[in-house]
């Protein structure tokens, strides 16, 4: 077929392109066809997002002053019920659509009272897609409305009503109960995590003081035979939230600075606490939605903090002896803060809608916070001086850190490749195809070098436990040999831009960075130290999905020429059961080898269990919840012992294995 024939065929195809080629998806079909567009994904994140969409409706009722309790129940089989004591979704006839308002809310995308300014002044649900989306992605959903003394019920399947709205009884309460079963043909993961839901409900309780949120898990019972249950309630709101997040740190002011105010229908609440750490921990919300990328409300917060504290320091001559300028970030080092605004019509930027774009919010937050900060400084001169001393220390450390960074990075340029002598590099120069193993100890590093595929796998042995960066000032980390080696091996550098430290990843040499340590308590501690370093100084690599943790086996069970590797107690028991053919007396020929360290494996064993891409298990490091992640790192690696001991006791998993 010649070129002209191709053109003629294309013309004929274009001639047939008319209205009949346009597919209009009706109702909720679009949601089922492209679920990721509406709830982000169909993995465990999307699964939990369904619950949040239903809770949003209940919280809108709370914000409007009509609901003080929300209960979330995980049933056997992983169906969910969300109950609230709000006004109940209206059930009367919708004039335009000629069907019950309940059915409209449950089956029409973007339907609901939150689009009527008289019904809800602000709404968290505006960010999402509403309960109709949950209905579309559920194999079964039941809406039960308690309103006007009657109980109204309607049931649905994949978004379509299977019954009309029926009155099934009388009631003396008000509220909406929604029960749904996620559709197994849509979701890859169907098991709800109690901890994930608990973390979100705790967060919502702090963001909505006076609202009680209850989580019940009917899949599991406690020692008393009762269902697992947690109750979340906060009287102090964001002030308590900041205290909770700073549990592992030592405060330098007696209590958090807590500010509430409003202007032009925008409500502002801010809580901030200075502590003895060396990092800024800032979390921002708009209508209960976590704005991970910040936005105009965060800009207003930072503007107020820098303006007011700098003015105070200048007026009192505290900065007069410094030989370099104070930067805006110096005022925020060692500060944990939460900014929560309620905006009637929020505008979000970017693909993930994680950044607030309303320009008017910057000035509102800056003005409200600025006035309160002035009062704080005037009324608390002793605490104000402690904060200013912390700012001066931060500025001095930042100046020293810049010099230390320049020394390390300049040395790399002068010595050619600048790669660490211990690094056994791979032959591939393609970062996408290359991976590096950060290995605990020289001995295991030697075994890994023998067992690897040198075409695409590099090995960097780390000696002992690296520096705990949670307790160290920044310039100290560049003096640590192991951390310097990680920087230079990866090819990344830290730079300053607009008063912020950013990680330059243009020359990143590997797109898989694998932490490989012993499967014991010491190994876990080293993993945590390395993760703390990545989290505090190379978060970009975690966000981009480049950080992994290797999973070496705990046991090798063998009988004759047969053998199995086992990663936990259950697998070990199963292997013994298979080789003994279920007979407890038939075990003298079964050998159990317990790997207490990577060095106990030979090169072949390490390759086939932990390094071979076709057989290994790698756990990708992700930040599912920034608030909880930050709190856990500061608790595990900070100065406060009691919260760390409590956390370890609650989460210990080695006690039985290592005895």
Q: Classify residue 424 by its DSSP letter.
A: B
Strand segments (E) across 417-567: 435-440, 457-462, 493-497, 500-504, 512-516, 547-550, 555-559, 562-566
Catalytic residue annotation: 440, 518, 520, 522
- Closest by alpha carbon to 165, among 138, 139, 182, 147? 147
What Å distances lie between residue 469 and 11, 511, 635, CA to CA? Answer: 65, 23, 13
The answer to whether residues 186 and 32 touch, using CB atoms and an 8 Å cutoff, is: yes
The Cα–Cα gap between 132 and 128 comes to 11
581 half-sphere exposure, CB direction, 13 A CA radius: 2
Q: Which residues, 6+ apart, have CB-to-CB distance to 362 below 8 Å?
A: 296, 297, 299, 300, 303
Q: What is the largest CA-CA distance in the chain?
A: 87
The Cα–Cα gap between 78 and 134 comes to 15
The answer to whether residues 285 and 341 touch, using CB atoms and an 8 Å cutoff, is: yes
Q: Which residues, 6+ apart, have CB-to-CB distance to 527 below 8 Å?
A: 515, 517, 549
**475 backbone dihedrals φ, ψ, rounded to 5°:** -65, -25
Residue pointed to by tokens 């040198």? 454
Give kind and range of the element (H or E) at residue 412: helix 381-414
Question: Collapsing DSSP states into helix, strand and coil, what is residue 507?
Answer: coil
Residue 254: CB atoms within 10 A of its CB come to: 10
CA dihedral angle for residue 359, residue 362, residue 365, residue 370, rounded to 10 degrees: -150
């Amino acid at each position: 077929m010649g070129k002209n024939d191709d053109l003629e065929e294309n013309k004929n195809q274009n001639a047939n392109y008319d209205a009949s080629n346009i597919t209009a998806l009706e109702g909720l079909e679009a949601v089922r066809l492209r679920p990721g567009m509406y709830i982000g994904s169909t993995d465990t994140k999307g699964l939990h997002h369904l619950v949040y969409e239903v809770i949003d409706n209940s919280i809108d009722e709370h914000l409007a002053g009509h609901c003080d309790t929300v209960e979330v129940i995980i049933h056997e089989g992983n169906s969910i019920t969300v109950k609230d004591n709000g006004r109940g979704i209206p059930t009367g006839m919708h004039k335009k659509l000629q069907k019950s308002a309940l059915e409209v809310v449950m089956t029409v995308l973007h339907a609901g009272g939150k689009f009527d300014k008289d019904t809800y002044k602000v709404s968290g649900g505006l960010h999402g897609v509403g309960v109709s989306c949950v209905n579309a992605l559920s194999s079964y959903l039941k809406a039960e409305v308690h309103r006007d003394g009657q109980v109204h019920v309607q049931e649905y399947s994949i978004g379509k009503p299977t019954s009309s709205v029926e009155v099934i009884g009388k009631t003396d309460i008000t509220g909406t109960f929604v029960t749904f079963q996620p559709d197994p043909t849509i979701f890859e993961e169907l098991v709800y995590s109690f901890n994930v839901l608990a973390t979100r409900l705790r967060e919502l309780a702090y963001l909505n003081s006076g609202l009680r949120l209850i989580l019940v898990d009917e899949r599991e019972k406690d020692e008393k035979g009762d269902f697992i249950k947690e109750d979340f309630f906060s009287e102090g709101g964001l002030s308590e939230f900041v205290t909770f997040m700073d549990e592992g740190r030592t405060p330098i002011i007696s209590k958090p600075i807590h500010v509430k105010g409003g202007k032009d229908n925008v409500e502002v609440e801010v809580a901030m606490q200075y502590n003895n750490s060396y990092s800024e921990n800032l979390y921002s919300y708009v209508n209960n939605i976590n704005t991970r990328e910040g936005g105009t409300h965060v800009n207003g917060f930072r503007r107020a903090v820098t303006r007011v504290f700098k003015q105070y320091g200048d007026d009192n001559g505290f900065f007069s002896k410094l030989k370099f300028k104070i930067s805006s970030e110096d005022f925020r080092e060692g500060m944990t803060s939460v900014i929560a605004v309620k905006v009637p019509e929020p505008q979000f930027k970017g693909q993930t809608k994680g950044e607030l774009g309303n320009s008017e919010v910057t000035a509102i937050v800056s003005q409200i916070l600025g006035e309160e900060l002035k009062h704080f400084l005037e009324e608390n001169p002793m605490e104000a001086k402690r904060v200013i001393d912390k700012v001066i220390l931060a500025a001095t450390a930042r100046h020293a850190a810049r010099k230390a960074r320049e020394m390390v990075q300049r040395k790399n340029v002068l010595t050619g490749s600048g790669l660490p002598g211990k690094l056994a590099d791979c032959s591939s120069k393609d970062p996408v195809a290359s991976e590096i193993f950060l290995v605990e100890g020289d001995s295991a590093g030697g075994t890994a070098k023998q067992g690897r595929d040198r075409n695409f796998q590099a090995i960097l042995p780390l000696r002992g436990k690296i520096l705990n960066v949670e307790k160290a000032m920044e310039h100290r980390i560049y003096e640590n040999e192991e951390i310097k080696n990680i920087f230079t091996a990866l090819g990344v550098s830290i730079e300053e831009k607009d008063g912020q430290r950013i990680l330059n990843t243009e020359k990143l040499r590997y797109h898989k960075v694998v932490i490989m340590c012993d499967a014991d308590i010491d190994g876990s501690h080293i993993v945590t130290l390395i993760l703390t370093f990545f989290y505090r100084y190379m978060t970009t690599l975690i966000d981009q999905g480049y950080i992994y943790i290797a999973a070496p086996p705990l046991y090798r069970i063998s009988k004759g020429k047969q053998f199995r590797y086992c990663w936990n107690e259950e697998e070990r028991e199963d292997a013994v059961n298979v080789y003994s053919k279920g007979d407890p007396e038939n075990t003298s020929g079964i050998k159990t080898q317990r790997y207490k360290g990577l060095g106990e494996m030979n090169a072949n064993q390490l390759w086939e269990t932990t390094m071979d891409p076709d057989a290994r298990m790698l756990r990708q490091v992700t930040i599912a919840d920034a608030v909880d992640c930050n709190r856990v790192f500061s608790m595990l690696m900070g100065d406060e012992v009691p919260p760390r001991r409590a956390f370890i006791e609650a989460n210990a998993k080695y006690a039985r294995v290592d005895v």
